[in-house]
């Protein structure tokens, strides 16, 4: 098939790691799409095996097929989602054949946009209460960051402020310090009974907790000012009780705030003097526009005429056109602080160029779909088993993908290649050998060792082995976990020196987790802004950090898209990464896992596939992950849909990348896609209907043109047309 040029052999396995033509990127992309299509629908002459019921499956060498299937237990029948009989056959393919070529990407000549993190000025140069400054010094903060130096004076001066500065530049203190200072200086002293004086709205629960914790730390110098938080997933009754007792600085997520505004009488916004909207663009992306406008409307209602005495501060590392609109509605003659440019003007705020920290290096890894799983495994092992780069966050597109990969890697990778599981049992065995009680040959595990290993396994599951250098701890974070688990994971990962956090975008914004050295995007972010926030979880306040995005060869235009935002990426070579699979996890062990990179990768893939065949729990997780992946892939926004082209997706290869041997049809990939489409259509219909209802409720019998608000999408005219078409059809 095309793209096979440059094949080599290694360990008896046919290699296809060739590069595309080294010409302009454009010519590659044109030809490459053709190759991807061919790969998805290979020519008829391609060898078929008994294990490949569909022409779509790629070639399997007889040796590979025999070796893989002979020892594999057959999948148990009757599982949820199982396909009809003929589709249930296993698909066994080699990892290194039938892959699209990896294109050559010319080196970028774009200059990265970064901001200067620290300013020359210290906090003591500001007009802040001395207690606050000394508290900051105790926390180790003396110099202000650039954004603090530029924005704090304006907020202290009472101006509405719109702030844009790169991730990890200290925006939380930028709004927290002036708020605390003003409340602290208030005469007579602030009391609980004064109610909410500052309201901070953030998109996620973790971010709400984090901001609240900052106020907690800082208010030591003015204990009479009480901070509090409202987040979903907590008991509402307890929150109501806290509100009744009185909270002066309230941090919350929009949904929960609206909920309490509707149902809790003791929550009043009548005294709010500061409104902070953090990660404003994200709040709008998440569909909170209505909630935010509703909060602003409540403020207007409860404090008629107070708009000039209330101060509003909006912040993010990236601002969208939607934020400008929101700013227009809630900020009065705002001071605009854009740290990346000297002369900030509103129009520059939403410019294409996005600043990322200077100490953050960006990378990409071009990987054919089939090799994704083993390459990710190899990358984790290469960074997390030893050294200074052992703390990593990996982003996935869906919760099911997070669940599956966390369970899988905890099982397969946490002790990859370890002959002897426990260091203590190693020592004990060495003592026994020295004492002449035991020879040092293999298989000398005694009952005590087994018990100890079982105990360690248990400890690992409970997350207790966090600090052990020979064990990689995998944790997960996503929106469907209980609040208790979410908070526990957030805290434990924040405090850990090493480990891997597998997550969805719930962790992409604002979270400040020290020492994170690598950000991996196993599923690429939908937009450049989302990319910037995800990678911003590392390289915070001048720390070192690196980011890596996994891309299929056909997705390479993503690199160019990021370059258009002044983000330049360097390549990491897939083969170099895969070589790590040859080494055992235990640095003291000299026995390699395999002799060649291909053998090691195949061995790991087989281990995973066999695990899935023998364990229905893992298999179900993998199937769910696969189906959710297919759905998510079909829903990339239209701006990037050409590079994440669902139609060119080789579903069989992606099934393999989940360790599944089922055919895509058996896994219901087509059905997943159709369901996704139908769901979208239903949602759109419902949304149109809802908008019309809202309009009708608000405007009674007013003519449509008179009822249009500035947020109206104009869709309310749709049904009229629809009726017309229907009538037309009827007439026909």
Ligand X SMILES: Nc1ncnc2c1ncn2[C@@H]1O[C@H](COP(=O)(O)OP(=O)(O)OP(=O)(O)O)[C@@H](O)[C@H]1O
Q: How far apart are CA 155 and CA 148, in angstroms?
A: 10
- CB-side neighbour CA atoms (13 Å) of 262: 7
User: With respect to ligand X, which residue has the nearer C-beta, 116 or 688?
Assistant: 116
Site for ligand X in 236-275 (CB under 6 A): none
Q: Is 141 in the site for ligand X (CB under 6 A)?
A: yes
Shortest distance, CB of residue 166 to ligand X, whole angstroms? Answer: 7
Q: Which residues of 677-710 are buried (b: 16+ CB within 10 A; e: fewer)?
A: eeeeeeeeeeebeebbeebeeeeeeeeeeebbee
User: With respect to ligand X, which residue has the nearer C-beta, 212 or 626?
Assistant: 212
Q: How far apart are CA 361 and CA 388, in angstroms?
A: 16
User: With respect to ligand X, which residue has the nearer C-beta, 114 or 418?
Assistant: 114
Looking at 10, 541, 692, 699, which residue binds ligand X (CB under 6 A)? 541
Q: Which helix (H) or strand (E) holds 499?
A: strand 499-503
In Å, how far are 180, 257, 288, 310, 602 from 198, measured between CA atoms?
9, 13, 20, 10, 57
CA 588 to chain centre: 34
Q: How many residues in the shown chain lie near ligand X by CB under 6 A?
A: 18
Q: Is 633 in the site for ligand X (CB under 6 A)?
A: no
Shortest distance, CB of residue 463 to ligand X, whole angstroms? Answer: 23
User: With respect to ligand X, which residue has the nearer C-beta, 136 or 578?
Assistant: 136
Binding flags for ligand X, 435-474, as an x/- string (CB under 6 A): ----------------------------------------
In Å, how far are 329, 424, 504 from 350, measured between CA atoms?
17, 57, 25
CA 718 to chain centre: 36
Looking at 145, 161, 382, 602, which residue binds ligand X (CB under 6 A)? 145
Q: Which helix (H) or strand (E) holds 163?
A: strand 161-164
Looking at 172, 410, 414, 546, which residue binds ligand X (CB under 6 A)? 172
End-to-end Cα distance, the chain: 51
Phi and psi based region of residue 510 (left: phi greater than 0; alpha: psi -120 to 50; beta: remaining): left
Q: Is 168 in the site for ligand X (CB under 6 A)?
A: yes
User: With respect to ligand X, which residue has the nearer C-beta, 282 or 624?
Assistant: 282
Q: Is 171 in the site for ligand X (CB under 6 A)?
A: yes
Binding flags for ligand X, 314-333, as an x/- string (CB under 6 A): ---x----------------
Shortest distance, CB of residue 711 to ligand X, whole angstroms? Answer: 26
In Å, how far are 123, 124, 128, 217 from 136, measured between CA atoms?
8, 10, 11, 9
3-state class of 518 per DSSP?
strand
Looking at 144, 155, 501, 604, which residue binds ligand X (CB under 6 A)? 144
Q: Is 167 in the site for ligand X (CB under 6 A)?
A: yes
Q: Which residues contact 165 (CB under 8 A, 6 or more apart)?
A: 115, 146, 147, 171, 315, 317, 337, 338, 339, 340, 355
Q: Which residues contact 702 (CB under 8 A, 6 or more apart)?
A: none
Looking at 169, 538, 580, 663, which residue binds ligand X (CB under 6 A)? 169
Shortest distance, CB of residue 145 to ligand X, whole angstroms? Answer: 5
Binding flags for ligand X, 660-679, as an x/- string (CB under 6 A): --------------------
User: With respect to ligand X, which residue has the nearer C-beta, 350 or 614?
Assistant: 350
Shortest distance, CB of residue 210 to ligand X, whole angstroms? Answer: 7
User: With respect to ligand X, which residue has the nearer C-beta, 167 or 311?
Assistant: 167
User: With respect to ligand X, which residue has the nearer C-beta, 29 or 175?
Assistant: 175
3-state class of 696 per DSSP?
helix
Q: Is 536 in the site for ligand X (CB under 6 A)?
A: yes
Beta bridge pairs of residue 501:
393, 475
Q: Is 510 in the site for ligand X (CB under 6 A)?
A: yes
3-state class of 79 per DSSP?
coil
Q: Is 164 in the site for ligand X (CB under 6 A)?
A: no
Looking at 429, 540, 653, 661, which residue binds ligand X (CB under 6 A)? 540
User: Which listed range, 34-42, 66-74, 284-292, 533-541, lies at the site for ligand X (CB under 6 A)?
Assistant: 533-541
Contact residues: ligand X, CB under 6 A: 141, 143-145, 148, 167-173, 317, 510, 512, 536, 540-541
């Amino acid at each position: 098939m095309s793209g096979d040029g440059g094949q080599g052999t290694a360990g008896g396995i046919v290699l296809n790691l060739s590069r595309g033509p080294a010409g302009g990127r454009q010519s590659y992309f044109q030809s490459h799409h053709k190759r991807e299509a061919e790969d998805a629908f290979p020519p008829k002459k391609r060898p078929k095996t008994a294990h490949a019921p569909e022409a779509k499956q790629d070639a399997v060498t007889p040796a590979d097929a025999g070796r893989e299937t002979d020892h594999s237990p057959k999948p148990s029948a009757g599982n949820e989602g199982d396909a009809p009989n003929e589709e249930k056959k296993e698909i066994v393919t080699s990892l290194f054949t039938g892959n699209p070529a990896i294109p050559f990407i010319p080196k970028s000549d774009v200059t990265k946009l970064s901001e200067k993190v620290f300013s020359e000025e210290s906090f003591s140069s500001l007009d802040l209460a001395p207690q606050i400054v000394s508290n900051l010094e105790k926390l180790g903060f003396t110099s202000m960051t650039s954004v603090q130096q530029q924005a704090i004076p304006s907020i202290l001066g009472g101006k509405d402020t719109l702030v844009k500065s790169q991730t990890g530049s200290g925006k939380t203190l930028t709004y927290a310090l002036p708020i605390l200072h003003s409340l602290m200086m208030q005469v007579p002293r602030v009391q609980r009974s004064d109610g909410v004086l500052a309201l901070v709205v953030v998109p996620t629960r973790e971010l709400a907790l984090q901001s609240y914790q900052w106020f907690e730390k800082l208010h030591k110098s003015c204990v009479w000012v009480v901070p509090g938080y409202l987040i979903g997933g907590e008991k509402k009754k307890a929150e109501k009780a806290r509100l009744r007792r009185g909270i002066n600085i309230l941090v919350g997520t929009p949904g929960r705030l609206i909920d309490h505004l509707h149902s809790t009488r003791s929550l009043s916004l009548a005294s709010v003097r500061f409104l902070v909207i953090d990660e404003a663009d994200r709040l709008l992306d998440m569909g909170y526009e209505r909630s935010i406008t509703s909060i602003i409307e409540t403020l207007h209602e409860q404090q008629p005429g107070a708009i000039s005495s209330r101060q509003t501060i909006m912040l993010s590392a990236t601002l969208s056109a939607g934020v400008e609109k929101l700013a227009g509605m809630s900020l009065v003659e705002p001071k605009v602080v854009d740290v990346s440019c000297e002369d900030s003007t509103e129009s520059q705020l939403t410019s294409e160029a996005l600043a990322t920290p200077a100490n953050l290096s960006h990378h990409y890894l071009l990987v054919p779909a089939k090799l994704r799983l083993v390459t990710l495994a190899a990358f984790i092992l290469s960074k997390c088993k030893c050294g200074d780069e052992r703390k990593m966050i990996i982003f996935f597109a869906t919760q099911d993908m997070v669940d599956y990969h966390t369970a899988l890697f905890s099982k397969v990778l946490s002790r990859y290649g370890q002959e002897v599981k426990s260091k203590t049992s190693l020592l004990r065995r060495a003592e026994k050998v020295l004492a002449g009680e035991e020879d040092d040959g293999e298989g000398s595990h005694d009952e005590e060792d087994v018990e100890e290993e079982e105990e360690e396994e248990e400890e690992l599951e409970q997350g207790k082995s966090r600090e052990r250098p020979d064990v990689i701890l995998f944790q997960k974070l996503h929106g469907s976990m209980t609040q208790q688990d979410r908070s526990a994971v957030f805290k434990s990962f924040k405090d850990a020196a090493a480990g891997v956090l597998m997550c969805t975008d719930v962790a992409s914004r604002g979270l400040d987790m020290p020492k994170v050295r690598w950000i991996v995007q196993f599923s690429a972010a939908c937009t450049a802004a989302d990319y910037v926030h995800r990678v911003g979880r590392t390289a915070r306040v001048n720390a070192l950090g690196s980011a890596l995005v996994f891309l299929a060869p056909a997705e390479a235009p993503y690199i160019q898209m990021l370059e258009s935002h002044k983000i330049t990426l360097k390549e990491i070579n897939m083969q170099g990464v895969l070589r790590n699979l040859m080494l055992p996890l235990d640095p003291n062990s000299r026995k390699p896992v395999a002799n060649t990179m291909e053998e090691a990768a195949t061995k790991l893939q087989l281990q995973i596939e066999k695990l899935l065949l023998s364990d229905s729990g893992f298999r179900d997780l993998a199937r769910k992950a696969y189906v959710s992946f297919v759905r998510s892939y079909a829903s990339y926004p239209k701006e990037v849909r050409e590079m994440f082209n669902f139609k060119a997706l080789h579903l069989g290869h992606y099934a393999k990348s989940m360790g599944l041997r089922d055919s895509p049809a058996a896994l219901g990939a087509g059905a997943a896609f159709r369901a996704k489409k139908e769901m979208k259509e239903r949602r759109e219909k419902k949304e149109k209907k809802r908008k019309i209802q809202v309009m009708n409720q608000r405007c009674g019998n007013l003519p449509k043109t008179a009822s249009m608000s500035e947020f109206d999408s104009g869709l309310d005219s749709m049904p009229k047309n629809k009726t017309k078409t229907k009538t037309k059809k009827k007439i026909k």
